[in-house]
Amino acid sequence: MSQQPERGDTGLAGLDCAPGETLLSVRDLRTYYESGDLIGGQPVKAVDGVSFDVKKGETIGVVGESGCGKTTLGRTLVRLEAATGGEVRVGSDDVTELSGEDLKAWRRNAQVVFQDPESSLNDRMTIGEIIREPLDVHDWGTPAERRARVRDLLEKVGLQEEHYYRYPHQFSGGQRQRIGIARALALEPEFVVLDEPVSALDVSVQAQILNLLMDLQDELGLTYLFIAHDLSVVRHICDRVAVMYLGNVMELGPTDELFEDPANPYTRALLSAVPEPDPTAEIDRMTLRGTPPSPRDPPEGCAFSTRCPVKIRPDGSDEVDESTWEAVEVFRETLRARSRTERSLSERARELIGLETRFATVDEVVGELFTDRDIPVSVKEPVDQAADLAREGDEDAALEHLKGELGSVCDHESPEDHAVGTEGRESRCHRHAAEYEEPSAVGPSVGGED
Amino acid sequence: MAADANATGVDERRSSARQTQSDDVDAAESADDRLLEVENLRTVFHTERETIRAVDGVSFGIEEGETLGLVGESGSGKSVTARSIMGLVDDPGELLPGSSVRFDGRELTDLTEKGYESVRGSGIAMVFQDPLSTLNPVYTVGNQIEEALSLHRGLSGIDATEKAIELLEDVGIPDAARRVSEYPHEFSGGMRQRAVIAMALACDPDVLVCDEPTTALDVTIQAQILELLSDLQAEHGLSILFITHDMGVIAEVADRVAVMYAGEIVEQAPVVELYENPRHPYTRGLLRSIPSTQQGAERLETIAGEVPTPNKAATDCRFAPRCPEAFDACEEVHPVPVPVEEGAEDHTAACLLYPEDEPRKAAVDRHAAAGDEDSPESAGSTGGDSR
Amino acid sequence: MSAVDYPVDEDEQTLLERIQDEPGPALKLLAVVVPLFAVEFGAVASLVMSLPWSAVGSALPGFLQGLAGALAGVGDALANLPTLLSRSVIDNSGYQLPSGEWVGTTLGLSPAVAWLLRVLLVYAYGFAWMAVGWWVYLVYRDNYRYADWAPVDDMVNRFRNHSWGLLGLAIIFAFVVLALFAPALGPTTVEANISDPYLHTVEYFDEEAGSVQEIYVGDANRDSQSRGQGGDNVGPLSYDQFGRFHPFGTLPSGKDLFTFMAAGARVSLFIGVLSLLIAGGIAVTFALATAYYKGLVDLGVVIASDSIQSLPQLLFIMLASFVLSGTWLANLYSGGVVLALLFGFTGWPGLWRAVRGPALQVSEREWIDAAKSFGQRPSVTMRKHMLPYVVGYLLIYASLTLGGVIIGVAGLSFLGLGINAPTPEWGRAVSAGQPYVPTQSWHISLIPGIMVVIVVTGFNALGDGIRDAIDPQSDVGTGQQDESAAAGGGA
């Protein structure tokens, strides 16, 4: 029996659309990992409500920092992880719910190229066996045809036929990544998830692999989901880009526009942080403070609200100067860090018998942040009350108090996706709403604007 | 060469090794103003089958307050260079005789482990790529900084703790008084790297060797760390040897750049000069193969082939097999660093195409002559090859 | 584009075709293997014929029974072919005339020399097979394998340079030969000397009567006892008064210790290997399943293994073998099967724990994800992508555990709980000789005791060698670079 992956015989009707039409439609996708604890524990919200379309024949990039959920998103699309909610539509089918023959058809048409070429090839198998395995699994052709196909693939990815009987150990990182690509292409998939395919490679080799990927796309009409943390690589290869932060897509749009005129504050910060290989480039850098919050316990409002440099201030705080406001944010960040810290047994005991613990130094923090400052009463009172609460060891209450008194819409409401720029661009930020100033009007200029 | 050394000291010795170069070079490189001077560094690793020449004749110097960027792909020997400077090369690796690392005029290569301790403590400190493996997971961050403080500054008890908190504040860790008693796993990646930098600063070094300090970090965190390093440099007058594979980071932090390939420095120049006017074909290829956030999709240029692993003393140009501009002589003559043209003493390239303003034949002869002068010494030091 | 467009690939041939293309090396190999096999063909045939064929034969339909009968006749004939290593080729039983001349032995050699010759011949034969095995690997690697380098080559090379491991291999191989060729190696046989001494006789020259007499082995044994101080003693490398040579001396009952040891090696090896097959099989299956599925499966096996490990293994085995002592199971192979089962079913948690780590490590590799992503079946993924990495570790721990099983069986037999008398077992020899250790009959306990130590050490050394050969940590870091550099070529 030979099931040939011919066009028009993909097994899933939705895959046979014309180039430019929507191939995959991701709607409110959520993937949570259960916490390791047996009792209670918050799940890790790796992907938390992501929606976008993938058009046939395009390369859509997913960028973000480590832990933003981009890899989990890719793995969910190819069913390596089970979705917690939402759907991934291919025509009339929902990928997250496929089973049996339909799932097999999806697996044949959605492949992955992994990040680490050292780990993605079984080094006790020859290259030929590795690339042949998907063909064997799907009963593709006769054994002789499979071997011929493997040789053909080897040539296609820039290796030689005689590499068939070599082992992965005998290849360099770049060559191994080529083998990984050949394996992913063996079944002639429609859709390939490229999970950081070049981040483990040196620049000169990285360029070879990027060129290869682009050539293969032209030749085979592939659709790529390109996951990366390296923005320059994404700019180079992607048609559209989704910027992820803490399980959310913050901004989505055509690559050139997004890079030249980033709308979302996070995109702007991310772009400005990339060092350019040009020592004369003057970048007005927006250095973000702190680190992303834990995906176990994301902020209630906007995911980026804890680090956002252009966060909306609450009404009536206009007279507060910038540095004081930043001190308030740092204070909140510190309290958050404290409330996340687990108290050891000995610390709890010290607390009980009234000895000094490392948590009792909140006055120092307050002193450091707020002395020598002319703080208006509207800020001073909530800060003092929060400090009191924190002194008693209840950081969570202190945080709630600060949020209630000094929080703005960014702290309370999750922002909508606002259409920005030309058609098909979206950005998830409260500042796009009519009543606020645009992020670009507030922060320093970034990207190609200058 | 050894005979020269005991009679005439540092300067003479250097110039004898470089006699073939113009006298101007010697003048420009006078060792006085250089805090750290690495000269003909050769570090080899003996394996069962062969001897890997990980660093093969590397020379550079760092002035006070300067940042030298050392850039290269994996396997080019840049990390081994750092470890050699720090005296951290262990069996089966060794520094070949003739290698010299001078810090503040003091030769480090013949120091004992104990002597090195004192240098590592107070003169040169190192920041590694992976902060998690630099920090011991069973001690608090404070403990580890305090240990460094007690070793190198004799502080202990409350004094040490206070100083540790101060250092953590210096590197921008908020709530340092509490953080000081936390364990490394309670820190995020960027915070850990800050803590490692605090540890390095605990001994008040003059030179900071940073081996890919931001490679493991996200770009927004990388930006924070780069900012921190530049602040610290301004504050403490640090000299920094910054090692990375990222041409973008180098462009941002370095004053001068040395490009490494297969254990050798192939080009060295001030940062703006190097990026605007790269001369060595490898540097050019490297710069052209970087995709940029400023430009859209076009085909990237690539360098064919792979970085070789040098296991023999070079008799040819190690880049020749991949070089688009190679000519016959490239396979017979080992190039030495020379100024790229008359008067450009601070821009050197180890390539037979240079000096550009000399006739090719003369230039090749100049490289060949320099190589011959080196060869007795290198032949004597490559005994391991025959194994 | 469909699969049919691809030209049928003619490049890849089966191993047989490759050999046909270049028969030289294979023929040379065959020229050595065939004679080597032929000289022992009778032994193999008799082993085959000793299986319970009659049961199979009677189940066959009528017209086949005739055929089966004919086959059986041929088989019996083959089984009776003389073999090189049988006792009759170099016979060491005979008697000495007052003139010093030996009668009955091959070529009139003294029994000691005849026996030694036979032992040397057996070991030469055994090691010849070992050399052939190595040769087969070389011929396959150099002539018939497509890949010019495979990861296993590096492991073999590392093992070859591991002298401690090689010593272990030599000891274990010698032990296995002792077990396999036990009937040919002993100066006499178990039936004749140990189990049925009153059904066999020996001839000896009676000096008083001045003539050759025949006596039951049992009666002769009574006069060749080793009973320590003041009593009789037949020590190592000595003759008894019936002209029988005892390389290791005799037991207190007068039976030959070497024959006893050789047969005991079979029992020990059987129990050790069978119990480890059981334990290893369970351990690997569980390790792969727990590493692949994790979660609840893992938890379940952890609980099961912890419960078993909380039992004191030897005490439990003693109890169980006592409980089972009356049943049919206890009579299989003189209780050896019961011991193997008990050791197997109580021993797997240790092995499982040892290979669980490596299995978990492999399960985290991206190639497992890759296999999942194109829909490989879990069972195949476990077998193809995980098992090869786990099986090496299993070998290490199995060889380390095997020593423990041998000690355990010896210990149980020492206590009288293991192998039923009269089936030989090393522990029983130690036990029997215990009262005589400080006397001239020291050999009864000490020789078997030292043998246990040597064999267990051998298994440990072999395990060490395998570990150093397969453990990627023992790879010199730069070794991998060399290989990729050597591969060269465009990326």
Instruction: Specify which residues B158 forms β-bridges with.
Output: none
C-beta separation of C358 from C388 below 8 A: no
Q: Identify whether C73 is part of a domain.
A: yes
Is B96 found in the same domain as B240? Answer: yes
Q: Identify whether B53 is part of a domain.
A: yes
pLDDT at C149: 87
- Is a pLDDT exceeding 60 seen at residue A95? yes
**What number is the average pLDDT over the span C246-268?**
91
What total number of domains does chain C contain? 2
Is B156 found in the same domain as B46? Answer: no
pLDDT band at A445 (very low <50, low <70, confident <90, very high): low
pLDDT band at C17 (very low <50, low <70, confident <90, very high): confident
Three-class SS of residue C361? helix
pLDDT band at C38 (very low <50, low <70, confident <90, very high): confident
Phi, psi of C203 (to 5 degrees): -100, 140
Q: What distance lies between CA B76 and its chain's CA centroid?
A: 11
pLDDT band at A443 (very low <50, low <70, confident <90, very high): low
Q: Worst-scoring range by mean pLDDT, A284-288, B28-32, C325-329?
A: B28-32
Distance CA C226, CA C248 (A): 11
Question: Would you call B330 exposed, middle or buried from its count of C-beta atoms within 10 A (0-12, 13-18, 19+)?
Answer: buried
**What number is the average pLDDT over the span B270-274?**
94
Distance CA C229, CA C438 (A): 9
C-beta separation of B352 from B317 below 8 A: yes
Residues of chain A with pLDDT > 90, as a percent, come to 45
Q: Identify whether B1 is part of a domain.
A: no
How many Cβ atoms from other residues are within 10 Å of residue A53's Cβ? 17
The residue out of C25, C60, C79 marking a domain boundary is C79
Q: Identify whether C242 is part of a domain.
A: no
pLDDT band at C54 (very low <50, low <70, confident <90, very high): low
The chain A residue lying nearest B254, using CA atoms, is A279
Distance from CA of C162 to the nearest CA of B (A): 14
- Is a pLDDT exceeding 60 seen at residue A447? no
Distance from CA of C294 to the nearest CA of A (A): 12
Q: What are B90-119's pLDDT values in tens digits?
A: 878 889 998 999 998 888 888 888 888 888
Question: Alpha helices of A238-305 — where are they, by DSSP H?
Answer: 255-260, 265-273
Is B150 found in the same domain as B79? Answer: no
Distance CA A142, CA C4 (A): 9
Q: Identify whether B300 is part of a domain.
A: no
**What number is the average pLDDT over the span B149-160?**
85
Structure tokens at C430: 């130690």
Distance CA A119, CA A205 (A): 18
**What number is the average pLDDT over the span C142-170?**
90
Q: Identify whether B263 is part of a domain.
A: yes
What interhelical angle do C336-363 and C387-414 show, nearest 10? Answer: 150
- Work out the angle at residue B160's Cα, subtended by the Cα atoms of residues B159 and B165, and round it to the nearest 5 degrees: 100
- Tell me the Cα Rg of chain A: 25
Q: Do strands A248-254 and B67-71 pair parallel, antiparallel, or not at all (unpaired)?
A: unpaired
The residue out of B204, B235, B255 marking a domain boundary is B204
pLDDT at A434: 85
Distance CA C249, CA C265 (A): 17
Q: How far apart are the first and last CA of chain C?
A: 28
Q: Which residue has the higher pLDDT, C51 or B199?
A: B199
How many Cβ atoms from other residues are within 10 Å of residue A162's Cβ? 11
Q: By residue range, what is the domain housing residue B155? A: 124-204
Distance from CA of B78 to the nearest CA of C (A): 16
Q: Identify whether C86 is part of a domain.
A: no
pLDDT band at C349 (very low <50, low <70, confident <90, very high): very high
Q: Identify whether C136 is part of a domain.
A: no
Distance from CA of A180 to the nearest CA of C (A): 9
- Is a pLDDT exceeding 70 seen at residue C8? no
Distance CA A405, CA A385 (A): 10
- Is a pLDDT exceeding 50 seen at residue C206? yes
Dihedral in degrees, nearest 10, Cα atoms A72, A77, A83, A89: 150
C-beta separation of A239 from A59 below 8 A: yes
Instruction: With CA atoms as reference, report the closest residue to A229 among B73, B133, B293.
Output: B293
**What number is the average pLDDT over the span B66-82?**
91
C-beta separation of C373 from C385 below 8 A: no
Is B129 found in the same domain as B80? Answer: no
The residue out of B161, B176, B204 marking a domain boundary is B204
C-beta separation of A148 from A110 below 8 A: no
Q: Which residue has the higher pLDDT, A59 or B370?
A: A59
Which residues on C lie below 8 Å from A99 (Cβ)? none
Is B183 found in the same domain as B265? Answer: no
Q: Show Cβ contacts of residue B112 under 8 Å, excluding neighbours closer than 6 positions.
A: none
The chain A residue lying nearest C386, using CA atoms, is A122
Q: Worst-scoring range by mean pLDDT, A67-76, A316-325, A422-431, C186-195?
A: A316-325
Q: What are A75-88's pLDDT values in tens digits?
A: 999 999 999 999 99
Which residues on A lie below 8 Å from C486 (Cβ)? 170
Q: Identify whether C59 is part of a domain.
A: yes
Residues of chain C with pLDDT > 90, as a percent, come to 34
The chain B residue lying nearest A293, using CA atoms, is B188
pLDDT band at B241 (very low <50, low <70, confident <90, very high): very high
What total number of domains does chain B contain? 2
Three-class SS of residue B171? coil
Answer whether A358 touches B (CB < 8 Å). Answer: yes
Q: Do C482 and B49 touch (CB under 8 A)?
A: yes
- DSSP conformational letter for B76: S
Q: What are A343-390's pLDDT values in tens digits?
A: 666 777 776 776 666 555 677 778 778 877 778 888 888 888 888 888
**What number is the average pLDDT over the span A186-214?**
92
| Mean predicted lDDT score pLDDT of chain C | 84
pLDDT band at A280 (very low <50, low <70, confident <90, very high): confident
- Is a pLDDT exceeding 60 seen at residue B262? yes
Structure tokens at A54: 């993938």
- Is a pLDDT exceeding 90 seen at residue C379? yes
Instruction: With CA atoms as reference, report the closest residue to B347 among B338, B357, B335, B360.
Output: B338
A vs C: CB pairs below 8 A: 135
pLDDT at B38: 93
Instruction: With CA atoms as reference, report the closest residue to C445 among C236, C158, C135.
Output: C236
How many Cβ atoms from other residues are within 10 Å of residue A192's Cβ? 26
pLDDT at C108: 84
Distance from CA of B322 to the nearest CA of A (A): 11
Distance CA A46, CA A67 (A): 7
Is B45 found in the same domain as B59? Answer: yes
Is B266 found in the same domain as B356? Answer: yes
Is B75 found in the same domain as B133? Answer: no
Amino acid A413 reads E
State the CATH number of the domain containing residue C441: 1.10.3720.10
* Torsion over CA: A377, A383, A384, A386 (sign): positive
- Is a pLDDT exceeding 90 seen at residue A190? yes
Is B173 found in the same domain as B104? Answer: no
Name residue, tokens 């009676």: C206
Distance CA C418, CA A42 (A): 55
Length of chain C: 491
Cβ within 8 Å of A, B 263-282: 271-272, 275-276
Q: What distance lies between CA A54 and its chain's CA centroid?
A: 16
| Mean predicted lDDT score pLDDT of chain B | 83
- Is a pLDDT exceeding 90 seen at residue C383? yes
Q: By residue range, what is the domain housing residue C359? A: 257-479
How many Cβ atoms from other residues are within 10 Å of residue C80's Cβ? 12
Q: Which of B186, B246, B303 sits opposite A341 (nearest CB)?
A: B186
Cβ within 8 Å of A, C 232-261: none
Q: Show Cβ contacts of residue A206 under 8 Å, excluding neighbours closer than 6 positions.
A: A198, A233, B289
Which residues on C lie below 8 Å from B75 (Cβ)? 481
Name residue, tokens 């060794």: B94
Q: Identify whether C189 is part of a domain.
A: no
Is B332 found in the same domain as B195? Answer: no
pLDDT at A35: 66
Instruction: With CA atoms as reference, report the closest residue to B103 among B18, B34, B55.
Output: B34
For chain A, domains (ranges, CATH) are: 13-238 (3.40.50.300), 322-407 (no CATH)
Is B175 found in the same domain as B32? Answer: no
- Is a pLDDT exceeding 70 seen at residue A284? yes
| Mean predicted lDDT score pLDDT of chain A | 86
Instruction: Specify which residues A191 forms β-bridges with.
Output: A110, A223
Strand locations in C73-221, DSSP E? 95-96, 102-103, 201-206, 211-216
Length of chain B: 387
Which residues on B lie below 8 Å from C490 (Cβ)? 304-305
Residues of chain B with pLDDT > 90, as a percent, come to 37
Q: Identify whether C148 is part of a domain.
A: no
Q: Do B219 and A274 touch (CB under 8 A)?
A: yes
Question: Alpha helices of A341-374 — where are they, by DSSP H?
Answer: 345-352, 362-370
Phi, psi of A59 (to 5 degrees): -115, 115
C-beta separation of C187 from C115 below 8 A: yes
pLDDT at A360: 55
pLDDT band at B216 (very low <50, low <70, confident <90, very high): confident
**What number is the average pLDDT over the span C185-209?**
87
pLDDT at A355: 63
Three-class SS of residue A25? strand
Q: Do A158 and C484 touch (CB under 8 A)?
A: no
Chains that touch B (3 or more CB pairs under 8 A): A, C
Q: What are A165-178's pLDDT values in tens digits?
A: 999 988 988 999 99
Is B166 found in the same domain as B30? Answer: no
Q: Which of C6, C377, C480 sits opposite A145 (nearest CB)?
A: C6
- Is a pLDDT exceeding 70 seen at residue A297? yes
Instruction: With CA atoms as reference, report the closest residue to B291 among A204, A175, A283, A200.
Output: A204
Q: What are A4-28's pLDDT values in tens digits?
A: 444 445 578 778 888 888 999 999 9
Q: What are C286-319's pLDDT values in tens digits?
A: 999 999 998 888 899 999 999 999 988 888 888 8
Q: Identify whether B308 is part of a domain.
A: no
The residue out of B204, B235, B251 marking a domain boundary is B204
**What number is the average pLDDT over the span A257-281?**
89
Q: Worst-scoring range by mean pLDDT, C48-52, C56-60, C178-182?
A: C56-60
Q: Do strands A85-90 and A93-94 pair parallel, antiparallel, or not at all (unpaired)?
A: antiparallel
Chains that touch C (3 or more CB pairs under 8 A): A, B
Q: Identify whether C367 is part of a domain.
A: yes
State the CATH number of the domain containing residue B366: 3.40.50.300
- Is a pLDDT exceeding 50 seen at residue C484? no
pLDDT at C10: 54
Q: Which of C366, C374, C489 sits opposite A111 (nearest CB)?
A: C374
pLDDT at A89: 93
- Is a pLDDT exceeding 60 seen at residue B381? no
pLDDT at B198: 92
Three-class SS of residue C238? strand
